[in-house]
Structure 1
Amino acid sequence: MAESPIVSSMVVEPPDQGDKKTSWDLFPWKDFPGYTQSQRCASTSSWIWQFGYDIEKSDDDTKRRWVCKVCVDSRRPNPHSAASSGTQNAEIHLWNDHKVCDPSGRRKPPSKAKEKTPSRNIAEMMKLNTRDAREQQIANQIIGRFDRLDFQRLVVSWIINSNSSFRQSEDPYLRAAFEYLNPLVKTTEAHITHNTVRRRILQVVTSYCVRWLEVE
């Protein structure tokens, strides 16, 4: 299948990663006090990491962020950053601000609907001024207390224990309630589909079967 001429014409090559030291020398650490280069071994397989820096809080490696390399390389004030647990915010920013999309063409640019209503981060939602040290600390504490995988495990457990339909996880009113209680459910893309619920349950069942066979 031929590649879309519209998408291919807008693909931007990843920033040169050859000279890592020079690349990090450009990083505006003053805008991210308390952060260091990420040391935690975590997935950076998404294409967005070709265009981003991976940083973490020096005292808590669960507080990990993606910082736009295109913003940094162009000396843009207040370079865009996003929680590393999701890719949607980074993808929307790269497309809306820099017209950058997946170089491989596997993922298409965000839809126009997303361009009109990009997701806000938790600091914006709570009207926190992250340039103020105290409010920056509050934002980071809120982000650090939410664990995306723990939330998803709780949703799956609730569906199992209540004998609910797997599609209950996609109910718009339930999702709205989750987002009302904690906006990070939305910003970290923590909602799960019925297929995800099914897959998680099968993984648990399979693991128990393996243990049972080992005992036998």
Structure 2
Amino acid sequence: MAESPIISSMVLEPPDQEDKKNSWDLFPWKDFPGYTQSQRCASTSSWIWQFGYDIEKSDDDTKRRWVCKVCVDSRRPNPHSAASSGTQNAGIHLWNDHKVCDPSGRRKPPSKAKEKTPSRNIAEMMKLNTRDAREQQIANQIIGRFDRLVFQRLVVSWIINSNSFFRQSEDPYLRAAFEYLNPLVKTTEAHITHNTVRRRILQVYEENKAEIKRVLPSRTT
């Protein structure tokens, strides 16, 4: 399956990283010793995560917490936090304290998010003591530098450029190599299946169909 370089370049284009980076600038880490940015992608579909930070205990990533962004942005002492599975409590806080509700208007009160069984934590793997401010900062820098979506786009782009089978993304040795280079590939569940690869390529094709049809004839003449 030969693919146009146009698709590859569009898959490779990363999202804007500045907003992601700046969103943590105000976070009061001193109020949450032993915590880091969450490495998990689960349980963030509820609307309340638009208004909260996702953190986890470095030595036990089953202990994830939602921390109110509105409290943090307004410099409120002791910002409200709740267990990640207790999103209904977070929704009640947002309404009672900030008059913020589900922007879509579909959920009143918000539904409870479902927790997934987590895997080993990056801070634990690197033997970082996140109760120490310096090591907590190091853990957050490591986590913050890895973007799950960018990694997945790079894998898809590699498959396109090398004209590889979609199932190459599921090769256990390739996955082991990715995890060896960066354990966050595993802890953030960043691996993709052949179905995901196919869906991403078709999505890029549909989004850029007109441009691809315009360019391809000129390359065959």
User: Post-superposition shift, 1:121?
Assistant: 1.0
User: Structure 1 164/182 Cα, relative in aligned 2: closer, same or farther at 3 Å?
Assistant: same
- Residues 121 and 187 of structure 1 are in contact (CA less than 8 Å); yes or no, is this contact kept in structure 2? yes
- Residues 42 and 116 of structure 2 are in contact (CA less than 8 Å); yes or no, is this contact kept in structure 1? no
Partner SS state of residue 36, structure 1: strand
User: Structure 1 53/16 Cα, relative in aligned 2: closer, same or farther at 3 Å?
Assistant: farther
User: Structure 1 32/67 Cα, relative in aligned 2: closer, same or farther at 3 Å?
Assistant: same
Of residues 57-66 and 96-105 in structure 1, the stretch that sits farther from structure 2 once superposed is 96-105
- Residues 11 and 153 of structure 2 are in contact (CA less than 8 Å); yes or no, is this contact kept in structure 1? no
- 1:109-142, CA deviations, whole angstroms, 9 ceiling, x for partnerless residues? 9999999995111100111000111111110000
Normalization by structure 2: what TM-score? 0.47
User: Structure 1 184/81 Cα, relative in aligned 2: closer, same or farther at 3 Å?
Assistant: farther
User: Structure 1 169/101 Cα, relative in aligned 2: closer, same or farther at 3 Å?
Assistant: farther
- Residues 65 and 81 of structure 1 are in contact (CA less than 8 Å); yes or no, is this contact kept in structure 2? yes
Partner SS state of residue 67, structure 2: strand
User: Post-superposition shift, 1:45?
Assistant: 2.1
Counterpart CA distance in 1 for 2:162 and 2:3 is: 46
Partner SS state of residue 154, structure 1: helix
- Residues 92 and 114 of structure 1 are in contact (CA less than 8 Å); yes or no, is this contact kept in structure 2? no
Of residues 105-114 and 178-187 in structure 1, the stretch that sits farther from structure 2 once superposed is 105-114
Deviating runs (4+, > 6 A) in structure 1? 1-29, 34-43, 47-53, 56-65, 67-117
User: Post-superposition shift, 1:175?
Assistant: 0.3
User: Post-superposition shift, 1:26?
Assistant: 20
Q: How many residues align?
A: 207
- Residues 167 and 194 of structure 1 are in contact (CA less than 8 Å); yes or no, is this contact kept in structure 2? yes
Counterpart CA distance in 1 for 2:93 and 2:177 is: 26
- Residues 169 and 194 of structure 1 are in contact (CA less than 8 Å); yes or no, is this contact kept in structure 2? yes
What RMSD over aligned residues (CA atoms) do the two structures have, in Å?
Answer: 14.2
Unaligned runs of 5+ in 2: 205-218
- 1:7-65, CA deviations, whole angstroms, 9 ceiling, x for partnerless residues? 99999999999999999999997552699999999993259979997469999999997
- 1:184-209, CA deviations, whole angstroms, 9 ceiling, x for partnerless residues? 000000000000000000011xxxxx
User: Structure 1 17/146 Cα, relative in aligned 2: closer, same or farther at 3 Å?
Assistant: closer
User: Structure 1 96/165 Cα, relative in aligned 2: closer, same or farther at 3 Å?
Assistant: farther
User: Structure 1 202/134 Cα, relative in aligned 2: closer, same or farther at 3 Å?
Assistant: same
Tell me what 1:44 maps to: 44
Partner SS state of residue 67, structure 1: strand
User: Structure 1 137/29 Cα, relative in aligned 2: closer, same or farther at 3 Å?
Assistant: closer
Tell me what 1:103 maps to: 103
Of residues 6-15 and 137-146 in structure 1, the stretch that sits farther from structure 2 once superposed is 6-15
